[in-house]
């Protein structure tokens, strides 16, 4: 049994999100949630925790006839991809402008027994 959850256009850079995703890749769901909520002091950790909880809830709703053991679930795959980019401009010296790229990311989680 497996389940997936995905969040698109999260307002965090993919590079920052990959640091947190690499820390929980391959862990049990319970251990990963406690690590994300208590020990990792990054803003994107709360968002990854939400996606992970959503994947667990998707599995529980898909398999209503059987009891799903949440402690036995494992993060089989967690992937952080580049999303869209907002382009902004900032005034610089002598009437010039420089471009600022505000990057977003897509996070997908696959949970299995």
**Alpha helix ranges (H) inside 1-113:** 14-24, 29-34, 44-62
**Structure-model confidence comparison of residues 11 and 113, the more confident one:** 11
State the pLDDT at residue 63.
76
What ranges do the domains of the chain cover? Answer: 2-112
Q: How remote is the C-alpha of 80 from its chain's centroid? A: 7
**Structure-model confidence comparison of residues 63 and 92, the more confident one:** 92
Could you give the CA distance from residue 80 to residue 40 in angstroms, rounded to a whole number?
17
State the pLDDT at residue 4.
96
Question: pLDDT, tens digit, for every residue of 7-35?
Answer: 999 999 999 999 999 999 999 999 999 99
Please, are residues 32 and 56 in contact by the beta-carbon 8 Å criterion?
no
Question: pLDDT, tens digit, for every residue of 35-57?
Answer: 999 999 999 999 999 999 999 99
Measured on CA atoms in the order 52, 56, 61, 62, is the torsion positive or negative? Answer: positive
State the pLDDT at residue 42.
95
C-alpha closest to that of 47 among 88, 112, 108, 3 = 108
Mean per-residue pLDDT over the chain, rounded: 94
Backbone φ and ψ for 60, nearest 5 degrees, come out as -65, -35
Tell me which of 3.90.920.10, 3.30.450.20, 3.90.470.10, 3.30.70.270 is the CATH number of domain 2-112: 3.90.470.10
Could you give the CA distance from residue 55 to residue 78 in angstroms, rounded to a whole number?
11
pLDDT at residue 64 is higher than 80: no
């Amino acid at each position: 049994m497996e389940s997936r959850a995905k969040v698109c256009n999260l307002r965090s850079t993919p590079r920052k999100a990959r640091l947190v995703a690499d820390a929980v890749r391959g862990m049990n769901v319970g251990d990963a949630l406690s690590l994300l909520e208590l020990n990792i002091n990054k803003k994107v950790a709360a968002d990854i925790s939400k996606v992970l909880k959503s994947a667990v809830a998707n599995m529980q709703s898909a398999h209503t006839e059987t009891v799903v053991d949440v402690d036995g679930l494992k993060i089989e795959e967690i992937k952080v991809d580049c999303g869209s980019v907002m382009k902004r401009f900032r005034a610089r010296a002598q009437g010039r402008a420089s471009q600022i790229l505000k990057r977003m990311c897509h996070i997908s989680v696959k949970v299995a027994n």
